Amino acid sequence: MKTNQLLKFTIAIKALLLVIVAQAGFAQTPAPSLIAYTIPDPYTGPDGNELWLVNSNGTNNHRLNPRILLGGIPTSPASLGRPAWSRDGTRIAADAIYYNTNILVVFNPATGQGNAVFNTTTGTGPVAQDWFYKAFSPDGKRLVYGGNQLDYTQYGFINTDGTGDTFLGFRDLTSEAFGKGVDWSPRTDALGWYGKQLVISDSYTINADPTCADSPRTFARLKLVLAVYRGMDVAWKGLTMPPQQPCSILSYTTTNDLFPVFSPDGTRVAFVRSVIDSGGQVLNSTIMTINVSTGSVQNLRYLSGEEVDNLSWSPDGTQLLFDRIQWVGLYPNPLGVWVTSANGGGTLSRFAYPPIFAAAWN
């Protein structure tokens, strides 16, 4: 397809998406809330995205074009997507591309004003090879992030003005899986414990049965890790760690726990348990929740032959928004953004058709 034909096709698709989203609001939502979502932007290259905002009832759908300060100079990013809301709903953190570099930006969607989370004076700040996982602190002054590098995921804290970048850690470089997700508890209890609690999807290396022919062998799975920090001290606690299993089992399937997000009240973590075969094919995905205090797990939705990405809670904690991808052989077939009950049961409903993805509910 020629370039001008591709551009005309893209414009037509976006016009259609406006109609689709406007007709696909959540009928079960008692009052409109905001949902930020991502659309691929072929104008800026294969990794380019646009960020849009819509009410959950489908009204007031519009693209976000914030004015971002980079070193005090107003600029516009070449790409903007994969949003994360502050707890008070006044700001969005998003991935941006500047001069072929992936960085984080923070802005107010109401005013369109924001800044790059990067210190241009020192030349320091989080960068990633492709995208970030990120979450605001309860007071909105800091971000915790996970940036995918060439062969590992690096985690850290940073103030939203780009100062105070603090290394948190990275996964085992010898394993073959990137971390997939990080969130910051919204709770700020009197003891301060919940306000200093993170949940991270990171690799967990399992020692395989020594009787295996290729012993000794290790195998990495992504599991949820609860991190409680005070100052510079971080205490790690396994939240969904698996038991040791023989090589014969590990050789065929991998069970990963991905995209963890705290509920609005901080008592539960929703996540995706994905089963993948040895060739990287997604066999099934289950949307689950785990009680942070008791460890009790609830299965909410099982999807055979499908991948689930980018979970997001509704503001009242009753629903979950997520990307749904069906696999046909080795080829992904995006199904758009869907919503399901956060308490189990009920029916699935579609929020928007592809190529819309990475939606975040405020």
Sign of torsion, CA 135 349 291 226? negative
- Those residues whose C-beta lies under 8 Å from the C-beta of residue 265, and which sit 6 or more positions away, are 186, 187, 317
Position with higher pLDDT, 132 vs 176: 132
| Nearest by Cα to 259 from 239, 273, 242, 240 | 273
Backbone CA torsion sign across 134, 25, 10, 309: positive
Among 42-51, 138-147, 195-204, the range of highest mean pLDDT: 138-147
pLDDT at 202 over 50: yes
The pLDDT of residue 18 is above 70: no
* Residue-by-residue DSSP string for 170-222: E--TTSS-----EEE-----TTSSGGGEEEEEEEEEEEPPTTSTT-S-EEEEE
How far apart (Å, rounded) are the C-alpha atoms in residues 1 and 161?
Answer: 43
Q: Which of 2-16, 143-157, 315-329 bottoms out in mean pLDDT, i.e. has the lowest?
A: 2-16
The alpha carbon of residue 39 and the mean position of all alpha carbons in its chain are separated, in whole angstroms, by 15
On the question of pLDDT at 180 being above 50, the answer is yes
Q: Which residues contact 125 (CB under 8 A, 6 or more apart)?
A: 103, 104, 116, 117, 118, 119, 158, 162, 165
- The four Cα atoms 138, 90, 268, 259 give a dihedral, to 10 degrees, of -100
Percent of the chain with pLDDT over 70: 69
Distance of CA 283 to the CA centre of its chain: 21
Distance CA(158)–CA(122), nearest Å, equals 14
Least confident of 217-231, 269-283, 331-345: 217-231
**Average pLDDT, stretch 261-272?**
91
pLDDT at 72: 86
Q: List, in order of start, the domains of the chain with CATH numbers.
A: 3-361 (2.120.10.30)
For 61-99, the pLDDT digits (tens) are: 999 999 999 888 898 888 999 999 999 999 999 999 888
Return the structure tokens found at 181: 């997700």
End-to-end Cα distance, the chain: 39
Pick the residue with more confidence: 32 or 162?
Answer: 162
Does pLDDT of 278 surpass 80? Answer: no
pLDDT tier, 270 (very low <50, low <70, confident <90, very high otherwise): very high
Q: Indicate the pLDDT class of residue 328, thresholds 50, 70 and 90.
A: confident
In degrees and rounded to multiples of 5, residue 113 shows phi and psi of: -105, 140
Which pLDDT value is given to residue 296? 86
Amino acid at 76: S
pLDDT of residue 362 exceeding 80: yes
Question: For the chain, percent helix, then strand, then coil, each to nearest 5?
Answer: 10, 50, 40
Residue 198: is it exposed, middle or buried by C-beta count within 10 angstroms (0-12/13-18/19+)? buried
User: What is the per-residue pLDDT across 97-121, written as a single tens digit (0 to 9) for each?
Assistant: 888 888 999 999 999 999 999 887 8
pLDDT tens digit string along 203-244? 544 433 344 333 333 334 556 666 554 444 455 555 655 444
> Taking 70 as the threshold, does the pLDDT of residue 166 lie above it?
yes
